[in-house]
Amino acid sequence: MKFTVSAMLACLSIFLLLTLSVGCTSMKTVTSVQPPVAEKIPHEMNQHGVQRNDDYYWMRDDDRKDPKIIAHLEAENSYKKAQFAPYESLQQTLFDELVGRLDKDESSVPYLWHSHWYSRRYQQGFEYPIIARSKVLGETETILLDVNVRAEGQDFYGLGGVTVSPDESMLAFGEDLLSRRMYKIYFKSIESGEFLKDILEGTDGRLVWANDNQHVFYIKKDPQTLLGNQVFRHQLGTEQAQDVLVYEELDDTYYIALGQSLDETRIVLHHESTITSEVSVLDADTPLGQFVPLLAREEGHEYSVAKLGDEYYIVTNWLAENFRLMKVSESEFADKSQWQQVIAADDDVRIEDILLLKDFLIVQTRVNGLSHIEVRPFGEQNAYHLAFSDPAYVVGLDVNASQQSDKLRVYYSSPTTPESIYEYDLTSPSTRVLLKQEKVLGQFDSELYQAERLFITARDGVKVPVTLVYRKDTFSKDGTNPLYQYGYGAYGHTIEPDFDSSALSLLDRGVVYAIAHVRGGEMLGRPWYDNGRMLNKQNSFNDFVDVTKALTEQGYADSKRVVAAGGSAGGLLMGSVINQAPELYFAVAAHVPFVDIVTTMLDESIPLTTNEYDEWGNPNEKAYFDYMLSYSPYDQITRQDYPHLLVTTGLHDSQVQYFEPAKWVAKLRDYKTDDNELLFHIDMEAGHGGKSGRYRRYQDTAQEYAFFLGLLGLGK
């Protein structure tokens, strides 16, 4: 193997790590180790008359085996380890705190499906759950799958979907051992414990059973793009090579997913792009049939369905920006003129989800950023809302496995309230039972903490919601507290104001924790999303920056001690923010950051690119190319001071390829004009979600917190 400069630096970094002074007390005292310097190899690109040069394009290796690239990544890891040495003990302290709050024997609330009660539980000291069931609640259980046994000896283990056949005799589950989200599906006889010879490879990890207990349907992924684009039917006892292709998605801007109606009469195939959807169904009693669209896709029309008897209820944005609820018989579904309105569109109310029970329609909405659950009896009773009192919270539908039930389970959480599972007796509106609340071990007392919900006016006059939480006895609102600000802002994904036991390690050290619900999410309904995507993406960055400015101006934070974090599309947010307003942030963590947006979106061979044209725009069109280039974190790096930076990635990341942050870090090292830390941690075993396992995943959180708290001088 050629001995490259990067390989030499890796060896040098390891040597210097071993010779660091044991008296170091601050990252800034570690000055003898030099960061890796990546080789520059010009790579010219010309689109729409714009000439770009990418000196680090060579870092891409789809096989992840190139010795030069691996050596460079290992050199980065060695440098990060050397610079992080003074805070390794703090990281361990934080890790012990984080896992020390976990209920070592945590278990889910059992739910009744068919004739058994199903649940998941952990055993003390083990990373993965045990999936079990019992015939009678509280009596002897049967272990269906001990995931710890399956994961033994694996550097990474990802459990996919777990499903039981309708007659409850067979178990199917998916496994990913590489963190590329490509799963093998296995089958196990529950009675004998024996595994079938059937193994389905290259899947998305989930399947749906037909009612004959012999046929299953699954989605197979394209090995290059990682898009799930084919639906196959498999008969138990046959080779995968004999499986029948029953549907192929030819439009590579769509995702597909399989599900089942709550009454178990229909297998449902969902087709989704960013702004268009379609639903196809197959009678679960006739698995040899074909999937038939309920309503053919229409560009810009999004809809989802729930079935009750012969009728479908439809959550649709047809003539309704924030969606409305309609219903129609199955035979007339394809004719929208036959749809009957159940709940009208409301500019202030986003309909998010529904549940159909035999006597009740349950509607989940979001109003002014807060979740609501409305119960609508089908009889003469009046509708009513479930009441919650925290200033910021999230509530949603939990596992409700039977359409015949008159009980409703919801989950509830707030920044100061651990996740709670409530069961409501819908025949008695004022009756609810707390089935379970997440245990937080140690000295946790919710009364010590305070949550607030603010609306910050952005530069264009729009009010941006912010969730704040802090410890009362360490907060003074005089501009002296450090601030940890988190953001995401993409895909219409809402970062909920829920409870996070990890955050206590920040709050207990006097840090104010803030979530900036920037445009691009859907906290304030569908318009909030539309105003933060495509040619409106700059709003996401402006919102985040304006929230930071306002929180410091209003005394919530010390302007010199603001740290920020985001991952994936939130990493793009971090990258753009530090290009545009680096002076506002003391330190930033960008996890698996999507930072080379233009080059990635021009390359259809990279996983998931084509599905995202309606999110970011198609840079093959000049208007979108120019706009994306104007904020692309990688392209817009300039010669200026940057905050302290911690960047993380996984070598096997299937969502944001490792070479995006690798190139970004290399270019930042070349351009930045400061002496602040720039640390790059590459998990050589993991992918987009980081480490697997209940405890191991907290190593990443402890690392980020140690980075921030150490720099802030709060490492106690």
Residues labelled catalytic: 568, 653, 688
The CB density around residue 616, as the number of other CB atoms within 10 Å, is 25
Determine how β-strand 324-329 pairs with β-strand 292-295.
unpaired
The contacts found for 319-328 with CB under 8 angstroms, 24 or more apart, are 319/345, 320/345, 321/345, 321/347, 321/525, 321/526, 321/527, 322/346, 322/347, 322/348, 322/349, 322/350, 322/351, 322/525, 322/526, 322/527, 323/350, 323/351, 323/526, 324/351, 325/351, 325/354, 325/363
Rg of the chain over Cα atoms, rounded to whole angstroms, equals 26
SS3 string, 269-282, reads: EEEECCCCEEEEEE
The residue behind tokens 């937080």 is: 440
Contact 376, 363 (CB under 8 A): yes
Give the helix ranges, DSSP H, for 37-173: 67-84, 88-100, 147-151
Sign of CA dihedral 426, 428, 430, 435: negative
Distance CA 645, CA 136 (A): 53
Give the helix ranges, DSSP H, for 113-177: 147-151
Contact 635, 56 (CB under 8 A): no
Distance CA 226, CA 252 (A): 11
Determine how β-strand 644-650 pairs with β-strand 678-683.
parallel
CA distances from 635 to 54, 56, 596, 599 (A): 9, 12, 7, 9
The amino acid sitting at 222 is D
Distance CA 661, CA 650 (A): 10
Distance CA 254, CA 251 (A): 6
Distance CA 265, CA 260 (A): 8
The contacts found for 404-410 with CB under 8 angstroms, 24 or more apart, are 404/357, 404/358, 405/357, 405/358, 406/357, 406/358, 406/359, 406/360, 408/355, 408/357, 408/360, 408/362, 408/375, 409/109, 409/111, 409/435, 410/373, 410/386
Distance CA 274, CA 255 (A): 9
Q: For residue 306, what are its two tokens?
A: 């729930």
CA distances from 72 to 85, 241, 542, 653 (A): 20, 41, 35, 17
Distance CA 96, CA 104 (A): 13
SS3 string, 661-684, reads: HHHHHHHHHHHCCCCCCEEEEEEC
Distance CA 156, CA 179 (A): 7
Distance CA 73, CA 60 (A): 12
The CB density around residue 535, as the number of other CB atoms within 10 Å, is 12
